[in-house]
């Protein structure tokens, strides 16, 4: 989630003090963030695994057209969720001062905006569905966008948990919501509810998650209105909301354009490919965002801490994401066939390029988190505007030339050639230099090439999708680890593994 910033502390610190204080502060924040990140990763791995299993089950029960209608509603819901709280969650995470002073006003604003937003989407749902080429999606849009009401009610409580690195409570709430989501969705699908299976499950799951968040945050539900606090929130929130709205267009314009140009069945294949490509951003990217906002916000308060912290984070993220992207590109057809069945094979060509987009999105989102943590919310708006301005015409050309595969290629190229340079430039503007990161990326890139080569070589020797995923995926992953991890570290790991083996000399 984005961060909220009012600038640096009013305390003046000289350069010598800054250098002495930066490392201890970074270590303290790092320990808290590390704990939060562990819980975030555990929660996201669990929820993504559950979502994967749910998607596999629904793919067997529903049709590509059902997926396509759901994709239209999903694009509306994503847009609503991005702009719903007008930066209130980020404001709470980054608030300089006592939360008790701003929470009543923030709660009132968040709930008011969600009520107004849902009313707006209820009215425009028919026009939105018609724009996507499927007027029959209207009731699905109206049902699914109801989740923003729950989001408005829980926004400040979620932010208070994030601010204090209590990601464990959010994890439990999300897992319980997922269980309810799966049960309701599968029951509706079996009874022939079609695209309403997705929407009904998500609304039910969001309701359970919301109840648990309200209980676990232990924050009184108070409403109020303070004009001065509202002014501060809106001065920050309006540009951030505009930025997030543009980001939502980036993430969902392809759904509307593919559905309108190619129909709901093609959109269903595209949605499946996009969902698979979003596994890594969903697990790793979301987990990092849960802790990056409070972490970078605190580092931004200490002179000299932010740039080194960003450099380390960028290198680790790139190194961790690269093998996932490489192996998914190589194994896309086998992955789709094994998990979802032969009828979903048309999704594989789009998946190969959308997974590259997923990797780019994680890197650019890290940049957005840094910018918002430093209070540079207008920079995030210009970043997303530039990205959207290049993406929309590229999607039109891509879809006309090569269908859903062309849309995926356009998305990936614009992300790589437009979004990444814009993000690097924006970070440079706030004093974060990524130049020192470049030498650290050479080894992961070479390891990625070796991984892809090993994976393709073994894949040629297999005869089934399961064996291809198992053998070729293992070979590619092993090649990457051996190439990217220093030899001393590998030897240390080997020593630890050997120590765990039983002693047979006795």
What is the 3 state secondary structure string of 407-429? HHHHHHHHHHHHHHHHHHHHHHH
Q: What percentage of the chain carries pLDDT values higher than 90?
A: 28
Exposure of 15 by Cβ count < 10 A (0-12 exposed, 13-18 middle, 19+ buried)?
Answer: exposed
The pLDDT value recorded for residue 437 is 82
Reference 283, options 82, 46, 81; nearest CA is: 46
Q: Please check the confidence at residue 480 and state whether its pLDDT lies above 80.
A: yes
Provide the residue ranges of all domains of the chain, joining segments of one domain with +. Answer: 26-433
Q: Please check the confidence at residue 55 and state whether its pLDDT lies above 80.
A: yes
The pLDDT value recorded for residue 391 is 92
Average of per-residue pLDDT across 379-395: 88
Average of per-residue pLDDT across 402-412: 94
Confidence of residue 2 (pLDDT cuts 50, 70, 90): very low
| Of residues 172 and 390, more confidently modeled | 390
Average of per-residue pLDDT across 127-152: 90
Does residue 305 sit in helix, strand or coil?
Answer: coil
Can you tell me the distance from the alpha carbon of 21 to that of 26, in angstroms, rounded to the nearest whole number? 9
Token pair in block for residue 257: 């354009």
Average of per-residue pLDDT across 414-422: 93
The pLDDT value recorded for residue 213 is 86
Q: Phi/psi class of residue 37: alpha, beta or left (left: φ > 0; alpha: ψ in -120 to 50)?
A: alpha
- Per-residue pLDDT of 63-112, as tens digits, reads 889 989 998 888 888 778 776 766 677 666 666 666 677 788 888 888 88
Mean pLDDT taken over the chain? 79
Confidence of residue 16 (pLDDT cuts 50, 70, 90): very low
Q: Cβ(423)–Cβ(367) under 8 Å?
A: yes
Q: Please check the confidence at residue 483 and state whether its pLDDT lies above 60.
A: yes
Confidence of residue 21 (pLDDT cuts 50, 70, 90): very low
| Of residues 375 and 17, more confidently modeled | 375
Task: With residue 389 as reference, give the H or E element that holds it.
Answer: helix 377-414
Confidence of residue 252 (pLDDT cuts 50, 70, 90): confident
Q: Please check the confidence at residue 373 and state whether its pLDDT lies above 50.
A: yes
The pLDDT value recorded for residue 242 is 72
Q: Please check the confidence at residue 469 and state whether its pLDDT lies above 80.
A: yes
The pLDDT value recorded for residue 491 is 62
Average of per-residue pLDDT across 249-274: 87
Can you tell me the distance from the alpha carbon of 169 to that of 254, in angstroms, rounded to the nearest whole number? 34
Token pair in block for residue 492: 């240390």
Average of per-residue pLDDT across 311-328: 84
């Amino acid at each position: 989630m984005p961060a909220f910033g009012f600038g640096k502390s009013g305390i003046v610190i000289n350069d010598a003090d800054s250098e002495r204080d930066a490392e201890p502060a970074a270590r303290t924040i790092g320990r808290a963030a590390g704990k939060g990140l562990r819980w975030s990763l555990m929660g996201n791995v669990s929820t993504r695994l559950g979502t994967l299993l749910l998607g596999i089950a629904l793919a067997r029960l529903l049709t590509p057209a059902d997926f396509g209608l759901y994709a239209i509603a999903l694009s509306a819901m994503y847009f609503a969720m991005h702009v719903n709280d007008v930066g209130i969650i980020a404001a709470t995470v980054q608030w300089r001062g006592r939360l008790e002073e701003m929470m009543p006003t923030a709660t009132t604003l968040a709930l008011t905006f969600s009520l107004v937003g849902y009313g707006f989407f209820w009215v425009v749902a028919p026009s939105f569905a018609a724009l996507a080429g499927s007027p029959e999606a209207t009731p699905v849009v109206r049902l699914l966008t109801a989740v923003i009401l729950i989001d408005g009610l829980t926004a400040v409580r979620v932010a208070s948990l994030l601010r204090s690195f209590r990601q464990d409570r959010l994890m439990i709430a999300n897992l319980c919501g997922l269980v309810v989501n799966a049960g309701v969705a599968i029951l509706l699908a079996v009874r022939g509810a079609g695209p309403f299976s997705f929407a009904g499950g998500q609304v039910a799951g969001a309701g359970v998650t919301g109840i648990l968040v309200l209980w676990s945050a232990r924050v009184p539900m108070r409403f109020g209105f303070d004009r001065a606090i509202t002014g501060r929130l809106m001065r920050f929130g309006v540009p951030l909301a505009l930025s997030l709205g543009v980001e939502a267009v980036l993430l969902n314009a392809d759904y509307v354009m593919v559905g309108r140009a190619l129909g709901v069945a093609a959109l269903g294949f595209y949605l499946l490919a996009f969902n698979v490509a979003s596994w890594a951003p969903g697990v790793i990217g979301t987990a990092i965002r849960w802790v990056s906002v409070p972490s970078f916000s605190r580092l931004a308060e200490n002179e000299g801490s932010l740039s080194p912290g960003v450099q380390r984070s960028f290198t680790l993220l790139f190194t961790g994401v690269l093998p996932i992207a490489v192996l998914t590109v190589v194994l896309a057809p086998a992955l789709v066939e094994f998990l979802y069945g032969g009828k979903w094979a048309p999704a594989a060509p789009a998946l190969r390029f959308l997974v590259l987009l997923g990797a780019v999105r994680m890197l650019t989102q890290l940049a957005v988190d840094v910018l918002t943590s430093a209070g540079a919310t207008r920079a995030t708006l210009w970043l997303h505007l530039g990205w959207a301005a290049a993406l929309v015409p590229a999607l039109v050309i891509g879809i006309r030339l090569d269908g859903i595969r062309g849309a995926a290629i356009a998305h990936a190229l614009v992300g790589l050639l437009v979004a990444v340079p814009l993000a690097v430039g924006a970070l440079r503007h706030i004093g974060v230099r990524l130049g020192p990161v470049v030498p650290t990326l050479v080894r992961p890139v070479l390891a990625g090439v070796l991984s892809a080569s090993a994976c393709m070589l073994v894949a040629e020797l297999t005869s089934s999708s399961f064996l291809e995923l198992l053998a070729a995926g293992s070979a590619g992953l092993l090649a990457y680890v051996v190439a990217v991890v220093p030899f001393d570290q590998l030897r240390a790991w080997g020593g630890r593994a050997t120590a765990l083996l039983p002693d047979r000399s006795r």
